[in-house]
Structure 1
Amino acid sequence: MTRVTGGGPFPGTEPLDAQLAVLEHLVDTPFGVDGLPFVVQLPARGAGSDAVGRTAALLGELAVELGPHGWKLADRPGADQRRARHALRDDLTALSVAAHGYDGPLTLSVLGPWTTAATLYLARGDRVLADRGAAAEVAEALGAGVRELVADVRAQVPGVVDVVVQVEEPLLAPVGAGALPTFSGYARLRAVPGPDLVEGLRPVLGAVAAAGATSAVHVGAAWTGVAPAVLAGADGVGLDVGRWDERTWETVARLVERGRTFWAGLPRAVVSQCAGPDVGRVADALTVPWRRVGLPLAGLADVVVRATESAPSLAGPVPSPTARSLQDARGDLATLVRVAAVVAERADG
C-alpha cells in the first residue's frame, strides 16, 4: 500500500496539539493508503527546537552552544544544549500521551551527519565540515544519539511495531560537489570524495540498523546524493520531485530496481477557492514520470510520499517564524493523504 508521512517540522509551540493532529490524519487513512505518523518538531519555539538544535541535542558527550553564526561545538555543555534536550524530552512526552494505545509504525527525523557537519561550526573556526576528523567525531556521536533516541521512542510508545528514522541530508550533494562557502565566504570548502561520503553516512545508518529500525535518507532535489545513500546501506532514499528530469528519474528507476524504497518529496498542492487543492496535479508529479521511465504501475504501491521539505538554513540557527497555522498544517496533511490515495488508485492500473 502507498504510504504517506511528513518530515517532522510543524507550526505552533504546543507539541501535544501538533502530535495529536499528526496522529488524527495519519492513523485513519483511506483504503490503499498506510499512514506513517511522525514525531513533530516545532521550530517556532526557538533555538533548540530548530532542525540543527534538535540534532545537536543527540550528540551525547559532544558539547554544543549557540554562536553568532549558528550552532557550534563548545568546550563544555551549557544552557543552549540543555534547552535543546529539554525540548526533545517535551516532544517525546507529548508523543507518549498522543499515541497512547497506538499500534503501528512511527517515523522520526534527524539531520544526517554531512548536513550536520555543514551547518555546525567548530568551537573556533570554520564549519565542522572543514575538519574531517571533527566531522567523523560528530557522525559517531550522532549515531550513538540516534540509537538512544530510537530506544526512547519505543519506551514512550510500546505499541510501535516499526521505527523509521528519516535521515535528512539535503546538503549531501553540495558537500560532495565542493559548493559550500567557507566561514569568510571568499572560498569554497573542498569537495568530499564519493567514497568518503559513503563512509561518513555509515555510523548513523549502522546505528539505525543496530537499533532494529529502518532508515530513509532524504537528499533533497539533487539526484547525485542517491548513490552514496544507497552504498552506505540506506533502506530507502528520498528525493524531491516536481518536474521531469531524465537523470533524476533514471536514478529513481535504478533505486527501485535495487529493491530500495523510494520516498517521493512532492510539491505542495495549489489551492483554488472553487475546486480546492489540486490533488491530481501533485500526484502527477510522481506517477507521470514513473510511467515515462518505464517503472511498473504496481510499484507505486511501495512508494512513500511526503511534502517537500526545505534544506536547513545556513544563515543562522533559527528558521524564520512560519506563517502557517496548525489549521494550515492539518489541511496540508489531509491533502497529502488524498494525494497518496490517488497514487494508490493508479498503482492498481
Structure 2
Amino acid sequence: MEQQPVPGTAHEQSREQRPAEEQQTVGGWPWPAGAATGIGSLPGTDVAEAQRIVLGELPALPHLPELPARGPGADLVGRGASLLVDLPVELYAARWRIAGRPGRDLRRAHDLMERDLDQLTEQAEEYAGPIKVQAAGPFTLAANLDLPIGGRMLRDAGAVRDLTESLAEGLRTHVADVRRRLPRARVLLQLDEPSLPAVLAGQIPTESGFSVYRAVEPGTARAMLATVIEAVDTPVVVHCCAPDVPLELIRTAGAVGVAFDLDRVKQLDPLGEAIDAGLGLLVGAAPTSPPSSGRPPTSAQVADRVRQLWHRLGFPIRQLAEQVVVTPACGLAGASPEYVRAVLTACRDAGRRLYED
C-alpha cells in the first residue's frame, strides 16, 4: 500500500485538500477548527501500518493507535497499568493485579509501548500540530485492577488514592516522553474512563457478583481526576462511552473536553450546559461497526448527525467547528481494516464539512 504523506512534512497541501490542519487553534481549543480524530483502538497487530493510516486519514488531529489484538499489555487496562510508578502489575487468572515486583507481564507491556513510540517517532518526527495519546483513567483502573489479596482496588479508598498519585506521575513522564520525541507537536491526553459512571453510581460488582462496591463520592472523584489532570501539564479530554457521562464533574476537574458516543446521549440539558461553560466535545458520530445496510456512513451523514445535535442545543453554527471534534463512537478494534479506513475518512471529511458551513 502506498504510504500516505505525514502532516508537517514538505509535502504540498492545498487548502481544498486539508483545510483543518492549516487553521490555527481558535478560542483556546487544543485542536484546529474542523478537526476529526480517532478514539484509540484499531484492529490488527501491525503498529507501523496503523500509524500510517491514522497520520494519513486524520491529519488535523492524529492519535497514537492502540492494537489490543497484540495480546496482554496492549489491552486498555494492561497498557494503562504499565504507566503506574512504583505499582508493578502482573497477570493472574487472566486479570491484571498489583504485584510485589516487576515481572515479564509488565516488561511485555513496556516493550509494546516503547515499540509504539519508536514507530511514532520515525513516522511523525517532523509533525507540527496537535497529537492525541490515550490512557486508562484512575477510576477505570481502580475498577479493573485487583489487589494482591483479592478484590478490586476500588474496595480500598487508600489504594485508590495511591493509584491516582502513581498514575499522575506515570502520565506526566509519558507526556514528557512524547514531547521529547515529537518536539514540534502539541500533546493532547485522553483519559479513558468507561467505568466512571458505574463507579459513581455504586454499580461495580464484587468478584462474587452478589454485591457491589461502595459508590465514590463525586467530590472525591473530581479531586482525583484533577490530581491527574494537573500533573500532566497538557490539555486533557476524558473519554466515556457509557450512558450518563458526568459532564459537570469532568469539566470542573479541569478537562478541556469530553469524548462520548452520540447514540448514548439521552438528556440534552446537561450537554448544553457543558457547552455553554466552555467544555469541548469529541462527538462519537460514526458507528464502530457497519449498519444494517452493510455500508459505512458517508461524511455527509456523519456531519448531519453532529449538525442536528448542535441545532437542537441552539448554539451558533459558527461555534460548532471550533468546539467540536468528530470521532467514531468508540474504539475500532473489532472492525475490519476496510471499515476502519472508510470511517476515519468519513469523520475527517465530516469535520471539513462542518468547518465550511
Normalising by the residue count of structure 2, what TM-score does the alignment of the two structures yield? 0.85
C-alpha contact 1:142 1:204 (8 A) present in aligned 2: yes
Contact 1:176–1:191 (CA under 8 A) maintained in structure 2: yes
2:340 to 313, 329, 332: 329
Does 2:26 align with 1:6? no
Answering whether residue 350 of structure 2 is matched by residue 339 of structure 1, we say yes
Partner of 2:62: 37
For 1:300, the equivalent position in structure 2 comes to 320
Contact 2:142–2:160 (Cα < 8 Å) also in 1: yes
The verdict on how the C-alpha distance between 1:86 and 1:255 changes in structure 2, with shifts beyond 3 A counting, is: same
| Percent of matched pairs sharing the same residue | 37
Greater mean deviation of Cα atoms: 192-201 or 263-272 = 263-272
Distance across 1 between alignment mates of 2:118 and 2:217: 41
Deviation at 1:339, TM superposition (A): 2.2
> Structure 2 regions of 5+ residues with no counterpart?
1-32
Task: Look up the equivalent residue of 1:264 and give its one-letter code.
Answer: V
Q: Is 1:182 paired with 2:206? A: yes
Cα 1:98–1:193 shift into 2, 3 Å: same
How far the C-alpha of 1:333 sits from its partner, in A, is 1.1
Deviations 1:248-306 (A, max 9, x none): x2112111111221121223285698986343333333221221121121121121121
Amino acid at match of 2:106: Q
TM-score by length of 1: 0.87
1:85 to 1:272, Cα distance in 2 relative to 1, 3 A:
same
Task: Check the 8 A contact 1:242/1:285 in 2, yes or no.
Answer: no
Query: Partner residue of 1:215?
Result: 236
Aligned positions of 1:1-349 closer than 5 A: 1-27=33-59, 35-160=60-185, 162-209=186-233, 213-242=234-263, 245=266, 247=267, 249-268=268-287, 270=290, 277-302=297-322, 303-309=324-330, 324-345=335-356, 348=357
After superposition, give the CA deviation of every residue in 1:170-226 in whole Å (9 maximum; x if it has no partner): 1111100011101111101111111111012122111122xxx11101122433421
Give the CA RMSD over aligned residues. Answer: 2.1
Asked whether the 8 Å contact 1:252–1:262 carries over to 2, the reply is no
Work out the CA distance in 2 between the residues paired with 1:242 and 1:255: 18
Q: Which residue of 2 aligns with 1:317?
A: none
Displacement of 1:69: 4.7
Local SS of the residue matching 1:304: strand
Contact 1:169–1:219 (8 Å) recurs in 2: yes
Shift in alpha-carbon separation, 1:243–1:72, aligned structure 2, 3 A: closer
Change (3 A) 1:23 1:191: same
- How far is the alpha carbon of 1:131 from its aligned partner? 0.8
Unaligned 5+ runs, structure 1? 28-34, 311-320
Equivalent residue pairs, number: 323
